[in-house]
Amino acid sequence: MNLLDRLKDSILVADGAMGTLLYSYGKDTCYEEFNLSHSDDIYNIHQAYIQAGAQVIQTNTYGANYYKLSQYGLEEQVKAINIEAVRIAKQAANKGTYILGSMGGYRGFRKADITLAEIKRSFREQLFHLLHEGIDGILLETYYDAEELFAVVEIAKDEANVPVIAQFSLLEPEVLQNGSFVKDGLQRLEELGADIVGLNCRLGPHHMIQSFEQIPLPNRSFLSAYPNASLLDYEDGRYVFTKNAEYFRSCSVRLVEQGVRLIGGCCGTTPEHIKAIAEGVRGLQPVTEKQVKPVRPTVEVLASRIDKEPPLHQIVKERTSIIVELDTPKHLQTESFFTGANRLKEAGIDALTMADNSLASPRISNTAMATILKEQHGIRPLVHITCRDRNLIGLQSHLMGLDALGINQVLAVTGDPSKIGDFPGATSVYDLSSMNLISMMKQFNEGISYSGKTLGRKTSFSVAAAFNPNVRNLDRAVSRLEKKVQSGADYFITQPLFNEKQMEEVYESTKHMKVPIYIGIMPLTSYRNASFLHHEVPGITLTEQILRVMERVQDDPIQATRESIAISKSLVDTALKYFKGIYLITPFTRYDLTVDCVNYVHAKEKLVHGTNVI
């Protein structure tokens, strides 16, 4: 009798975690490779689960795909690892044991790291090898991203002639990562043809049962549940799960009451947990009716706060706009910073932008300085946010804090690695890339947290993204821009450009795009400064002509300033032919140079306006 026929009248017990039992080998080990190098260990784990009462086991192939194996240099072993995994499972199985080919989700926090096309290609390769070896079903497990799971279910149903089990993982009970209700996600999986739909990983039994209370019985599919053992704890330098196998006995009964027919375990579960499940469900019959709890009333998502000024991306579409970068101090003497900020305000800038510990060197928090500028000086701040210094938790907290402060103009950047800064031994986090951060801010603008939970109110972030045209292949850089637009970027700010011809090339390469661009211009302070920027700072390239001019006046500071301003004005002239946005980067604390440039932009605009009027 096949798996689906058994589930029509029975509760089936599945196995538990594989990685938990192999954890002693090291957390950074490729457990799928153990099919080749430690086959006896994999066999013994299968046997232990079967002896504990598992009627359904899964192959040790959760991450046995090209994409994940490539992280260990094993991408050429996809076929061998999957073939051996099925062979071991068959060797361990009893006559009535069902074998599922395990295929784990690809996307984690960094959704932009792998495209849907790449997922499909890698998925098909692994699927082919599992099906070729003869399995009783496909287990699609630990999928956080709904788009990804929907896509692979369609492939599996099209190419496989065995049952397909599709399981979401939830960051928060009851809702998917995109903010939709899990009951709707499971209904969509059923519509796509999934034979068994359910949940696994991340949640322990309590929260998983809570989620199932709001899930109606499917019309055609069956329900499955593979909860984690518990929440993780940290003990003596190791991550551990609560030893609570007996607790799973009563939990399995409650899952059956919610309509679940296939029950196993995920992270932290062991043969003891599976034995408890088997004992708990023994003699129970599947339910055919259940009382579904109403979905909790959604907290009304309030509209975002209305800002007095339009966002920068809107301003720059309508008129010439100037933003100026002024780095916050590396020390606690702030007088000069605020003096410069007020001089720039008087000159007529639209916003003062501050980097987030640029070049991985600590400075006064740009959020703190932005708050003071906004509240005490009436200056609009544009804060940079890097992915280097904060993990996913910290970034979300930071964004909520910015919104609470009324700071909604932001620039998302990945950030320079810590090793280039003042503390090369410091850790770079990079839970997210700049594209992931942009997407998360746009999700916040819909009133939804990263985990899918309501924020109670929409944010109003106007999101800038960085653009470095100082590369050999401009088309590739523009392609990256287009991906950032897809992630939700509202406008772009470039690295400083020192070449008029390059500005024209940037315009020609980006004119098809609808989002505005602020062209970066950075006044020079000396020949030494020019040489350092050209030779040592990533992403900045000066022309030979500019280097020669600054070299000629290197012994005359006054003349060097004049030449610097002349170079900047010439660059402004060219930039304004093609773009409405000017981004002035203040060198060191020389705000006098950027004030001169701001005044020049305004004078030029008045002249142009006067000509148009005549």
pLDDT digits 0-9 by tens, 6-60: 999 999 999 999 988 888 777 678 999 999 999 999 999 999 999 999 999 999 9
Contact 194, 165 (CB under 8 A): yes
Structure tokens at 44: 């013994």
With pLDDT > 70 as the criterion, what percentage of the chain qualifies? 95
Contact 490, 518 (CB under 8 A): no
pLDDT digits 0-9 by tens, 493-541: 999 999 999 999 999 999 999 999 999 999 999 999 999 999 988 778 8
465 backbone φψ class: left, alpha, beta (φ>0; ψ -120 to 50): beta
- Burial class for 79, CB neighbours closer than 10 Å (0-12, 13-18, 19+): middle
Structure tokens at 158: 């099209």
Q: 266: annotated binding-site residue? A: yes
Helix, coil or strand: residue 139? strand
DSSP calls for 269-326: --HHHHHHHHHHHTT----S---PPPPPPPPP-BPPPPPSS--HHHHHHHS-EEEEE-
**Angle, CA 161 vertex, CA 159 and CA 164 arms, to 5°:** 85
What's the chain's average pLDDT? 92
Q: Is residue 356 predicted with pLDDT exceeding 70? A: yes
- Give 494's DSSP letter: E
Structure tokens at 17: 């975690």
pLDDT digits 0-9 by tens, 225-237: 999 987 655 444 4
Q: Is residue 254 predicted with pLDDT exceeding 70? A: yes
Contact 573, 604 (CB under 8 A): yes
What's the whole-number mean pLDDT along residues 362-367? Answer: 96
Domains 3-281 and 312-525+572-609 share a fold: yes
Contact 447, 456 (CB under 8 A): yes
Helix, coil or strand: residue 445? coil
Gap between the Cα atoms of 98 and 164, Å rounded: 13
Q: 30: annotated binding-site residue? A: no
Tell which CATH classification among 3.20.20.220, 3.40.640.10, 3.40.50.720, 3.20.130.10 matches the domain 312-525+572-609.
Answer: 3.20.20.220
Q: What are the residue ranges spanned by the domains of the chain? A: 3-281, 312-525+572-609
pLDDT digits 0-9 by tens, 475-488: 999 999 999 999 99
The arrangement of secondary structure in 3-281, i.e. its CATH architecture, is: Alpha-Beta Barrel (3.20)
Q: 251: annotated binding-site residue? A: no
pLDDT digits 0-9 by tens, 170-203: 988 989 988 889 999 999 999 999 999 999 998 9
> Which of 226-240, 336-350, 378-392, 458-472 is predicted least confidently?
226-240
pTM over 0.85: no
